[in-house]
């Protein structure tokens, strides 16, 4: 009998992160697993979305994305980063940065090409590479340390088509420095490879600054910049992602995007454009400063409860080592934490190709209101007294 499913689906599982949300819901646990905010989106965006629906912006936006949003994005990249982005030639708006990343890889990677992915990684990159019949090449990096450019160089070869660069990083929180980005840019140039960047947390950082790879000398032509509205505007369910790419690559990316999804929701694209046009700079600085308070609260709570972890430089996750508390493997520990302690986290193994890399780790998200974090910390304080070794 023929196998009922395609081989390309055999090399990966459904998202562990989203699986933990289902488990959290089943057990009424506080969900610090999947990274989505529990607080409202900015009023300006919500009003603009309602207005857009009432004004009947209810049919397809054009494939590349609504013109108003592309123009707002071009202005944003110029104002924030000094990037020259042509809204007609360089931008594609997608259904979240998840579609963006998949569409980009499908558009630029050939079967058999190698794609360099740093571990720990955000769980999409491996499956995205597999969906293109490419070979992900994993490079294990210390979550806290400086980027090990020698290890990355050793993973690159003439077969390398792209290096995926996620800064600020999920799950480690690292914000790459200019020198680190320059090291990666050098490798891209040497191997004639693309930098495919995931910059979805570009406005959420506590140390350093966010530097888009595309702004480094000579890199605009070999960088594809993925970002989106989800994290910046606390609208993860709106599914609006963005791609900035050189014109020739955008032609290919738009073809893939067109036949995958046609386009992201038109009224929501409109609303995000309004948000980008009207929200002041202080909105973005408050976003980071409010997240810093939440970060410090959860970090102190985790350390107090017996976890080992450092405060992240950016994004909204803490990767915590629980080996002082339990000998359970990471997935069992995360299930136990959800069911018995009432706090859901993501098992560390889902950020590693070799699950052993994450066997003592769990990831907590702190994109929650303070009362929720206070309650989570209170529950986590009980881990030490009930954890079995």
* Residue with the shortest CB distance to ligand GLN: 35
Rounded CA-CA distance 348/217 in Å is 36
| Number of Cβ within a 10 Å radius of residue 135 | 16
Residue among 18, 27, 178, 190 that touches ligand GLN (CB under 6 A):
18
Segment interacting with ligand GLN, rule: CB under 6 A, options 12-20, 101-109, 304-312, 368-376: 12-20
Nearest of 132, 89, 33 to residue 363 by alpha carbon:
33
Please report which residue ranges of 59-124 form alpha helices under DSSP H: 67-81, 96-108
C-beta of 18 vs 378, nearer to ligand GLN = 18
Which residue's CB is nearer to ligand GLN, number 90 or number 166? 166
Smallest gap, in angstroms, from Cβ of residue 90 to ligand GLN?
25
- Contact (CB, 8 A) for 380 and 301: yes
Query: Stretches 10-18, 40-48, 299-307, 368-376: which one binds ligand GLN (CB under 6 A)?
Result: 10-18
Q: Can you state the angle between helices 43-54 and 266-278, rounded to 10 degrees?
A: 140
Q: How many CB atoms within 10 Å of residue 139? A: 18
For the chain, the maximum distance between any two Cα atoms, rounded to a whole number of angstroms, is 62
* Residues within window 163-182 making contact with ligand GLN, judged by CB under 6 A: 170
> Of 14-22, 102-110, 161-169, 300-308, which part binds ligand GLN (CB under 6 A)?
14-22
Separation between Cα atoms, residue 241 and residue 239, nearest integer Å:
6
Q: Which stretch binds ligand GLN (CB under 6 A): 13-21, 58-66, 185-193, 278-286?
A: 13-21
Minimum CB distance to ligand GLN, residue 21 (Å): 8
Query: Of these, 34, 223, 250, 350, which contacts ligand GLN (CB under 6 A)?
Result: 34
Query: In this structure, what DSSP letter does residue 41 have?
Result: P
Record the tokens describing residue 248, joined without a space.
Answer: 């020739």
Phi-psi region of 262 (alpha: psi -120 to 50; beta: other; left: phi over 0): left
Per residue, what are the HEC states of 265-329? Answer: CHHHHHHHHHHHHHCCHHHHHHHHHHHHHHHHHHHHHHHHHCCECCCCCECCEEEEECCCCCCCC
Nearer to ligand GLN, 64 or 351 (CB): 351
Residue 313 interacts with ligand GLN (CB under 6 A)? no
Site string for ligand GLN, 72-101 (x = CB under 6 A): --------------------------x---
Closer by beta carbon to ligand GLN, 98 or else 234: 98
Residue 35 in contact with ligand GLN, rule: CB under 6 A: yes
Q: CB under 8 Å to 218, separation ≥6 — which residues?
A: 185, 189
Please say whether the beta carbons of 92 and 256 come within 8 A: no
Sign of the dihedral defined by the CA atoms of residues 141, 161, 131, 255, in that order: positive
Please tell me whether residue 234 binds ligand GLN under the rule CB under 6 A. no
How many residues sit close enough to ligand GLN to count as binding (CB under 6 A)? 7
Q: What is d(CA 17, CA 38) in angstroms, rounded to the nearest whole number?
A: 16
Q: How far apart are the first and last CA of the chain?
A: 46
> Is 338 a residue that touches ligand GLN (CB under 6 A)?
no
- Min. distance of Cβ 314 from ligand GLN in angstroms? 14
The piece of 11-19, 48-56, 246-254, 280-288 that touches ligand GLN (CB under 6 A) is 11-19
Q: Toward ligand GLN, which CB reaches closer, 172 or 269?
A: 172
Locate 335 and state its tokens: 């299930």
Please identify, using beta-carbon distances, which residue of 107 and 315 lies nearer to ligand GLN. 315
Instruction: Name the site residues for ligand GLN (rule: CB under 6 A).
Output: 15, 17-18, 34-35, 98, 170
């Amino acid at each position: 009998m023929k196998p009922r499913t395609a081989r390309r689906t055999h090399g990966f599982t459904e998202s562990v992160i989203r699986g933990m949300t289902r488990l959290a819901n089943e057990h009424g646990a506080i969900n610090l697993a999947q990274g989505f905010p529990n607080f409202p989106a900015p009023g300006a965006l919500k009003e603009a979305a309602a207005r857009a629906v009432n004004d009947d912006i209810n049919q397809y936006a054009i494939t590349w994305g609504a013109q108003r949003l592309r123009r707002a994005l071009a202005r944003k990249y110029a104002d924030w980063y000094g990037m020259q982005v042509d809204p007609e030639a360089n931008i594609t708006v997608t259904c979240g940065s998840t579609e963006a990343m998949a569409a980009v890889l499908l558009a630029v990677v050939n079967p058999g090409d190698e794609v360099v992915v740093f571990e720990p990684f955000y769980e999409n990159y491996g499956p995205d590479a597999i969906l293109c019949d490419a070979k992900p090449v994993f490079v294990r990096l210390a979550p806290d340390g400086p980027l090990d450019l020698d290890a990355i160089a050793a993973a690159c070869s003439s077969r390398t088509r792209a290096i995926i660069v996620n800064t600020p990083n999920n799950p480690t929180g690292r914000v790459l420095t200019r020198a680190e980005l320059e090291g990666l840019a050098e490798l891209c140039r040497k191997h004639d490879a693309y930098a495919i960047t995931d910059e979805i947390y570009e406005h959420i950082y506590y140390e350093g600054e966010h530097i888009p790879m595309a702004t480094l000398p000579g890199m605009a032509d070999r960088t594809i910049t993925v970002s989106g509205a989800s994290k910046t505007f606390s609208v993860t369910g709106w599914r609006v992602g963005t791609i900035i790419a050189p014109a020739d690559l955008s032609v290919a990316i738009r073809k893939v995007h067109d036949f995958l999804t046609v386009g992201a929701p038109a009224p929501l694209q409109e609303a995000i454009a309004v948000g980008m046009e009207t929200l002041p700079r202080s909105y973005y600085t408050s976003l980071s400063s409010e997240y810093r308070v939440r970060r410090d609260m959860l970090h102190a709570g985790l350390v107090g409860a017996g976890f080992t972890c450092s405060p992240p430089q950016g994004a909204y996750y803490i990767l915590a080592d629980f080996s002082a508390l339990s000998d359970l493997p990471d997935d069992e520990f995360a299930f136990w934490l959800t069911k018995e302690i009432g706090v859901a986290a993501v098992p560390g193994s889902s950020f590693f190709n070799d699950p052993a890399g994450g066997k003592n780790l769990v990831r907590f998200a702190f994109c929650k209101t303070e009362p929720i974090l206070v309650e989570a910390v209170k529950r986590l304080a009980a881990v030490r007294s009930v954890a079995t070794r």
